[in-house]
C-alpha cells in the first residue's frame, strides 16, 4: 500500500470524503496529476495504480477517462504543447518580422521544457499526429502557424519547410540536453509509432497539407552537415573575436 493510499484511507476513517469526492474526477484533472507525478518522481514510476492512489481512487476509475497509459502519455504531450496557447509572448502569426516570431516560439517551447523537464522527453518519443511532423514543434496547429507565418513573410514553400526542419532540429537537440541536466531521462522511453496510426485529416491545415510531401522527405544527412557548418562558422567568428 502506498503512502497516498494510506492517507486517503485515513481521511475516510476520520470521516472526511476522499479526494475524488472533494474534487470531481475528469480527464483534465487526471492529465494534470500525471504531469505532477512525472515532475516529482519521473516517468518510469508512473503507473495507473500510483496515479489513482494520488487521486484517491482505484486505478480502474481512471479508465473511464483515459483508456490506458499510452493514451495518457499522448494526452500529457498534447497538454504540454498546448500550454503555449496561454503564453502571451508566443504568437500565432508574425507581427514584427519572422525573426521575432521564431524567437518567441523558441523561447515558448523552452519555457515548457524547463517547467516540466522530466516530462519533456515524451514530446520527442511519443508518435506525432503525422510521421513527418518533428518534435518539439509537432502539433498540427503550431506547424500550420509556423508555415503560414513564414509564407506570409515571403518564404517559398521549400524555404519554409527547410526552416521548419532546421528550427526543430536546433530546438530538440538543445532542449533535450538542457532538460537532462535537470534530471530528465532522455534514453528510450516508449514504443515509437508502428505505422498503424491513421493519417490525420488536414482540411483545417492548408499549409501543412500543401507542404506535406516536402515535410516527409528525408534530409537528415544534409541538415546535419548544414548545422555543423553553421556551428563551425560561429566558432570561427568567436576565434576571430578572441584574436582581435
Q: Tell me, what's the pLDDT at 197?
A: 63
Give me the pLDDT at residue 238, please. Answer: 62
Cα–Cα dist 197/201, whole Å: 12
Q: Which single residue is written with the C-alpha cell 523558441? A: 106
Kindly list the distances between the CA atom of residue 47 and the CA atoms of 3, 158, 168, in Å, as whole numbers in the listed order. Answer: 15, 43, 30
- CATH class, domain 3-66, is mainly alpha
- Judge whether 166 and 227 are in contact, CB under 8 Å: yes
Q: How do residues 182-221 score in pLDDT, each as one tens digit?
A: 888 776 544 444 555 677 889 999 999 999 999 888 786 7
Rounded (10°) CA dihedral 82, 85, 86, 87:
110
Helix or strand (DSSP H, E) at 17 = none
Is pLDDT larger for residue 17 or for residue 222? 222
Nearest-angstrom CA–CA distance, 21 and 244: 69
pLDDT of residue 192: 43
Q: Answer whether 127's CB lies under 8 Å from 193's CB.
A: yes
d(CA 164, CA 170): 10
Quick: pLDDT tens for 42-81.
Answer: 999 999 999 999 999 999 999 999 999 999 999 999 999 9
Cell numbers linked to 2: 502506498
Does the pLDDT at position 178 exceed 70? yes
156-181 average pLDDT score: 90
Which residues have CB under 8 Å from 160's CB, separation 6+? Answer: 146, 147, 150, 151, 207, 211
Q: Name the pLDDT band for 132 (thresholds 50, 70, 90).
A: confident
Compute the half-sphere exposure of residue 13: CA atoms within 13 Å on the CB side of its CA.
6
Contact 142, 124 (CB under 8 A): no
Percent of residues, the chain, with pLDDT higher than 70: 82
Burial class (CB in 10 A: 0-12, 13-18, 19+), 150: buried
Predicted pLDDT at 168: 92
Residue 41: which residues within 8 A CB-CB, separation 6 or more? none
**Global pTM?**
0.76
Which triple of cell numbers denotes residue 93? 502569426
What residue spans define the domains of the chain? 3-66, 98-243
Lowest mean pLDDT among 21-35, 85-99, 180-194: 180-194
Distances (CA, A) of 70 to 106, 122, 192: 27, 11, 11
Choose between 241 and 99: higher pLDDT: 99
Give yes or no on whether 3-66 and 98-243 have one common fold. Answer: no
CATH topology of domain 98-243: Tetracycline Repressor; domain 2 (1.10.357)
Amino acid at each position: 500500500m502506498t503512502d497516498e493510499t494510506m492517507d486517503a484511507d485515513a481521511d475516510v476513517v476520520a470521516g472526511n470524503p476522499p479526494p475524488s469526492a472533494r474534487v470531481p474526477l475528469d480527464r483534465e484533472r487526471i492529465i494534470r496529476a500525471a504531469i505532477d507525478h512525472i515532475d516529482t518522481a519521473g516517468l518510469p514510476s508512473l503507473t495507473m495504480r500510483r496515479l489513482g492512489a494520488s487521486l484517491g481512487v482505484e486505478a480502474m476509475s481512471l479508465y473511464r477517462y483515459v483508456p490506458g497509459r499510452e493514451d495518457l502519455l499522448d494526452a500529457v504531450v498534447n497538454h504540454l504543447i498546448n500550454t503555449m496557447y496561454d503564453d502571451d509572448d508566443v504568437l500565432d502569426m508574425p507581427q514584427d518580422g519572422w525573426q521575432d516570431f521564431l524567437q518567441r516560439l523558441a523561447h515558448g517551447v523552452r519555457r515548457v521544457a524547463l517547467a516540466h523537464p522530466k516530462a519533456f522527453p515524451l514530446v520527442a518519443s511519443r508518435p506525432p499526429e503525422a510521421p513527418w511532423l518533428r518534435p518539439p514543434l509537432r502539433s498540427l496547429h503550431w506547424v500550420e502557424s509556423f508555415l503560414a507565418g513564414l509564407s506570409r513573410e515571403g518564404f517559398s514553400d521549400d524555404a519554409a519547410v527547410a526552416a521548419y526542419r532546421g528550427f526543430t532540429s536546433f530546438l530538440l537537440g538543445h532542449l533535450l540536453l538542457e532538460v537532462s541536466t535537470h534530471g530528465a531521462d532522455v534514453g528510450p522511453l516508449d514504443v515509437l509509432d508502428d505505422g498503424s496510426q491513421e493519417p490525420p485529416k488536414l482540411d483545417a491545415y492548408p499549409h501543412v497539407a500543401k507542404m506535406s510531401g516536402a515535410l516527409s522527405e528525408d534530409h537528415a544527412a544534409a541538415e546535419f552537415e548544414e548545422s555543423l557548418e553553421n556551428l563551425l562558422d560561429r566558432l570561427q567568428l568567436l576565434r576571430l573575436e578572441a584574436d582581435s
